[in-house]
Structure 1
């Protein structure tokens, strides 16, 4: 029995250290991926701010409003989105009916067993 417990403890300890090592390695890799891209993003932000200063004279609020109106007019239909909305409404209505039925059943059982 003690051999079994020692083996289990050893395996659990090994797995725990493996998980901790994996988490640490993933964090290190994420930091490695993030570091060079941060410099690129900062340089792009600086470039876009310089470009936006020169373009701000040409862009008017009327252009922005017209673009917003055209975006509102474009009402693209997404089949998967509509299907997901209908499915979620069906599921939520089904669960609300099931909960109310279970509530009624429990209420009736409590009424029967109460003195």
Structure 2
């Protein structure tokens, strides 16, 4: 019994650390897609920079960031095998339930027609 409990505890801890690692990795990936907030803080905290230079730098940085973000999003959108499988499975299940409901409706209407005077 104790061996079983130790094995279960070991598996649960491994799975817990795996989940926590996955959440942390997803958080860092989302921060990378958004862009680092440190860049905007550093540029706003430097008052000696002229306003025109900061606008030009911001415009060039944002257009470059937008292009890189669009490229990364297109790469991410190209790999959606699980999403496509989920959509197909959902459509199959919804159509199966629709057919079952229509069959039950026909059966109930036929039963009511038989028992009606």
TM-score (norm 1): 0.45
* Higher gyration radius (CA): 1
The structure with higher relative contact order (CA 8 Å, sep 6+) is 2
TM-score (norm 2): 0.44
